[in-house]
Copies of this chain bind each other. A is one copy, B any other.
Amino acid sequence: MSDPVRPQSTLDLVATAGRLREEVQASPPLTHCLTNAVVTGFTANVLLALGAAPAMVDIVGEAEAFAGAASGLLINLGTPTPEQREASRQAVTGAVAAGTPWVLDPVAIGVLPVRTALALDLAERRPTAIRGNASEILALAGRSSGGRGVDATDDTEAAAEAARDLALRHGAVVAVSGPVDLVTDGLRVMRIANGHELLTKVTGGGCALGAAMAAYLGAARTTGVEPLMAVAAATLVYTVAAEQAAAVSSGPGSFAVALLDALAAVTADDLADRADVREEAW
């Protein structure tokens, strides 16, 4: 049954997001994160607010087996110490062997050589999803030298072709964050126009979304939802909550607090009311 005013793809995503949200809350997916030192606390709090079970295990000798037992894995390269680089390789080995879905977030690659080399290497190991801003996605696709630090200096649509290429080359879902988020598996592309500019004023605003994707991919695996829809669903839940948080905030400090509250409270009806989604074939 179709809605008279909304396209079927929007309805599908809203329904899927509602279903995954419920699944995450009912059976918290153990979400293994190797992430950067700046955002690790905020990321764990985002996962807890969503109902997931975070575990920040980034120790050599522990990460491989743990990733094998986890529901989902995030590898975020924001502050890749030698210990974390080695633990990241181990975690990916464990995830690939066990079929654990995993997300690669190649933070600030392009200009920074250590993480760039690692990201290019890890991208060959079949991430389930790759998440970044436009500059990072362009850099990973070999089309630019990246942004300056964590800031995108390119806009989302400029990275659309690079996202498609990466998706097809690696068999991954690719998500490009920006004012309009783009999510593609190389064949279909979804554009999610929800969110709020305050997300760019809180450190970890993007990084924590990568963790949410890992959690939702974990829940999707047990419920038979395809990765494209899981990544888009995580994006929708996260960006709708951001809109709700912005509405009750006085600035970036209160926004970060309200975002956690909203992630815990956002309902399927909120998603339906606010979803601003467009899907196309390439």
Q: Is A148 an interface residue (CB 8 A)?
A: yes
- Please indicate the chain B residues that have their CB under 8 angstroms from the CB of A265 in the complex: 250-251
CA of A201 to CA of B102, assembled, Å: 23
Within 8 Å by CB of A256, from B56, B59, B60, B253, lies B253
Total interface residues on A, using CB and 8 Å? Answer: 63
CA of A115 to CA of B202, assembled, Å: 30
Q: Write the nearest CB–CB distance from A140 to chain B, whole angstroms.
A: 17
Question: Assembly of this chain: how many copies?
Answer: 3
- Please indicate the chain B residues that have their CB under 8 angstroms from the CB of A251 in the complex: 49, 260-262, 264-265
Question: Which listed segment binds B: A8-16, A61-69, A122-130, A273-281?
Answer: A61-69
Within 8 Å by CB of A253, from B37, B150, B261, lies B261
Q: In the complex, which residue of chain B has the Cβ closest to the Cβ of A148?
A: B30
Q: Is A149 an interface residue (CB 8 A)?
A: yes
Cβ contact within 8 Å between B44 and A203? yes
Cβ contact within 8 Å between A261 and B252? yes
Which residues of A are in contact with B by a Cβ distance under 8 Å?
28, 30, 32, 36-42, 44-45, 48-49, 53-62, 65-66, 69, 78-83, 108, 111-115, 148-151, 200-204, 249-254, 256-262, 264-265
A-B pairs with beta carbons under 8 Å apart, 30 shown: A37-B56, A38-B44, A41-B42, A41-B204, A44-B203, A45-B203, A45-B252, A48-B201, A48-B202, A49-B201, A49-B251, A49-B252, A54-B150, A54-B203, A55-B150, A57-B149, A58-B79, A59-B114, A61-B114, A62-B112, A62-B114, A82-B83, A250-B261, A251-B260, A251-B261, A251-B262, A253-B256, A253-B261, A256-B260, A257-B257
